Amino acid sequence: MRIGIITFPGSLDDVDAARAVRLAGGEPVALWHAEHDLKDVDAVVLPGGFSYGDYLRAGAIAARAPLMQDVVERAKQGLPVLGICNGFQVLCEAGLLPGALTRNSHLHFRNRDQVLVVERADTAWTHAYADGQRIVIPVKNGEGRYVAADADLDRLEGENRVVFRYADGNPNGSSRDIAGVTSEDGRVVGLMPHPEHAVEDLTGPSTDGLGFFTSVLKAVVAA
């Protein structure tokens, strides 16, 4: 099972994401933002970091990269796509996910282990979890405050598209404690916290993040 990981100028967590894919039993495939080549991958991860230094808006310039045109086109046909942190910002800027990520309400960078509640265990990236399950994975961002107009937030909640909510404290002032959302078909998921940093006891607060990567391997087989 080939899982592509896109590297943009300024990506930081592409190597950790590749390692998480390998630990889950998949084959990580490095993808370069400037090429129109998805290399026949079965799913794509957009990793964290600071693509283009967060110039203009976080994720805005990376969302217009050549490879993103291919990602958008294939995602609309059901290709599973996961955006983590800066990757989530890129997916929102590319229009694959609703809403936007803005400066944290307290204006500080926040880095800590974070409790999340899984609200949707039926997306391509969350089958390994149970609805209502609490997981602990790191969060680290300065522009992680999820926002959208109230009417859009109501619509999202009505369509059950919130995948994760922050619990035991909201680290960035996100509307309605939203940590992650999904596309209408449940194949594209974006979240600010970092599952790829919680896949081994030695380096993470838990191994709760591994389920993202085992989930997509099963979702690809099922599809």
Partner 1 sequence: MSRVVVDVVLKPEISDPQGQAVLGALGRLGHSGVTSVRQGKHFVLEVDGTPDEAELKQIAETLLANPVIEDVELHLPTD
As annotated, the active-site residues are 85, 194, 196
Closest to partner 1 by CB, 98 vs 211, is 98
Rounded to a whole number of angstroms, the minimum distance from the CB of residue 151 to partner 1 is: 10
Rounded to a whole number of angstroms, the minimum distance from the CB of residue 117 to partner 1 is: 24
Closest to partner 1 by CB, 10 vs 173, is 173
Closest to partner 1 by CB, 30 vs 55, is 55
Cβ-based neighbours of 56, under 8 Å, separated by 6 or more = none
d(CA 187, CA 183): 6
Q: Where along the sequence are the contacts to partner 1 (CB under 8 A)?
A: 56-57, 60, 64, 92-93, 98-100, 102-107, 147-150, 173
Find the angle CA(35)-CA(92)-CA(38) to the nearest 5 degrees: 25
Q: What are phi and psi of 169, to 5 degrees?
A: 115, 130
Closest CA to 200 of 142, 155, 137, 151: 137
Rounded to a whole number of angstroms, the minimum distance from the CB of residue 172 to partner 1 is: 10
